[in-house]
Amino acid sequence: MPVASPPDRALIDPKRGKSERPLPERALFVFTPEDLKDALRSLTFSGARSRQAAGSRRHRKVFLCGVTEGIFGGVPIAVAGPMLGAPQAVLVLEKLIALGVRRCFALGWCGSLNPTVRIGDVVVPRWAWSEEGTSAHYPLAERPVADPQLVQTVLTGLRGCEGLTVHEGPVWTTDAPYRETEAKVLHYRDKGALGVEMETSALFTVAAYRGIALAVVLVVSDDLSRMEWRHGYRDPRFRAVRASLPERLLQLLTRSSP
């Protein structure tokens, strides 16, 4: 007869395959292709005659997401991206944890829900309201939050940078960007949400469930706070801030203490 098992025991666990190299302890998750290019330009590679050769040798795919190993400031780093939405972000995070990642920054974009949070500003969430379907599958006794030490590292590091306006507060995570209705925007804005995006609550949940340190940094790319959509993808300030953050976060990640 089969041996009985606890009903909440997963039948499939993320694990490192026999032929898979372990990854560095530190990783930067990058949601958008634009930010990923800037992050990869900041890495250096060792043991190859050319940057292209090193990059290809240290690159792999994890659930359609690229993962590249490199060096920043003398510290080994993994950079993962692009990715879209909670399910893919969690699949990638689970696998990278199995490969050795223990400290993560995640960099993405969000829409503003508050008139004081402007396009080109930066939001650092400590927690998030979940309207995505992934988090509910990870039972936790308490609401998951960002790692306090990493959040403080980000806030201290970014608030000292000229040209950056940094906000700290919760965000709303959704699976359905085309269903960000007026009623929902008002609801979450009144509850104190600064922005809306698609990955944060799920990443906080899995990081807490697996016991790793993770923080999220979001650049405000568009604005819903006035009950109409205004995008800022061509806004000069948004583009300048967005382009500066990958290298800044790599600097902060390499300086953070385990």
pLDDT higher than 60, residue 2: no
Whether omega for the bond prior to residue 82 falls within 30 degrees of 0, making it cis, is yes
Residue pLDDT, tens place only, 148-196: 999 999 999 999 898 899 999 999 999 999 999 999 999 999 999 999 9
pLDDT higher than 60, residue 49: no
Mean pLDDT on 56-63: 76
pLDDT attached to residue 101 = 98
Among residues 194, 174, 186, 89, which one has the least CA distance to residue 132?
174
* H or E element in which residue 103 lies: strand 103-112
pLDDT attached to residue 258 = 67
pLDDT attached to residue 25 = 97
Residue pLDDT, tens place only, 72-116: 999 999 999 999 999 999 999 999 999 999 999 999 999 999 999
Query: What domains, with CATH codes, occur in the chain?
Result: 26-255 (3.40.50.1580)
Mean pLDDT on 192-203: 98
Mean pLDDT on 40-64: 70
> Cα angle at 220 between 218 and 226, to 5 degrees?
135
Among residues 76, 49, 79, 77, which one has the least CA distance to residue 67?
79
Mean pLDDT on 31-38: 96
Dump strand ranges (E) for 14-91. Answer: 26-30, 59-62, 65-72, 75-81
* Dihedral sign of CA atoms 92, 94, 41, 253 in order: positive
Q: How many CA atoms lie within 13 A of 48 on its CB side?
A: 14
Question: Is the Cβ–Cβ distance between 242 and 122 less than 8 Å?
Answer: no
pLDDT higher than 90, residue 18: no
